[in-house]
Amino acid sequence: AVAQSESEHQTQREYAELVRESAGHGETDAIWILGQLYEEGRGVPQDYVEAARLYRLVAQGGWPEPQFDLGRLYLAGHGVPQDYTIALEWFTLAAEQEHAGAMHALGLLHSDGSGVPQDYAEAARWYLLAAKLGHPFAQINFGLLYADGFGVPQDYVLAHMWLNLGAYNGGD
């Protein structure tokens, strides 16, 4: 098992080196993937600062995936100062391009009042947009709003529907 583990680590290091080479040629996919490798510490030492730098390179070009990833780092304060306002900005840019994860994140921020005034109606709007794109946790959170009557009229039938849909689609 130890030899297999070392073999897996070697394979991850080789993969990271290939991705780094492609990123060095300016390939945006490779730059984003290299950011993920640094964020997760796969094949390279875990380095949130480097992950944020790489995500920013491609996020500024308008790509929603690294915009969402950069928003996550700002939300958690990994490699960048924790800043809900900046996280909100990156999530909004990604959400405007129909990134369901970013829409869900915006719903969470509005529901919790993190970086914005707490607004369940706005949370419901973002959850619904993400839920319609099939995001299971947005479906569950939207269902919970219906169950509690927060931001939407209380409706147990719609709550049941959205909660079941989210569970069916892989939500916990």
Sign of CA dihedral 128, 74, 90, 50: negative
Rounded Cα gap, residues 31 and 51, in angstroms: 9
**Tokens matching residue 21:** 């080479």
pLDDT at 27: 94
Q: Which residues contact 155 (CB under 8 A, 6 or more apart)?
A: 146, 149
Measured CA angle at 143 (ends 86, 112), to 5 deg: 30
Residues 6+ apart with CB under 8 A from 13: 43, 44
Spacing of C-alpha 42 from chain mean position: 19
Residue 7: the pLDDT is: 84
**pLDDT tens digits for 94-112?**
999 999 999 999 999 999 9
pLDDT of residue 3: 54
Residue ranges of the chain with pLDDT lower than 50? 1
pLDDT in the model for residue 4: 53
Whole-number pLDDT of residue 1: 47
**What contacts 24+ positions apart, CB below 8 Å, involve 30-36?**
31/57, 31/58, 32/58, 32/63, 32/65, 32/66, 32/69, 35/66, 35/69, 36/69
pLDDT at site 111: 98
What is the predicted pLDDT for the residue at 5?
80
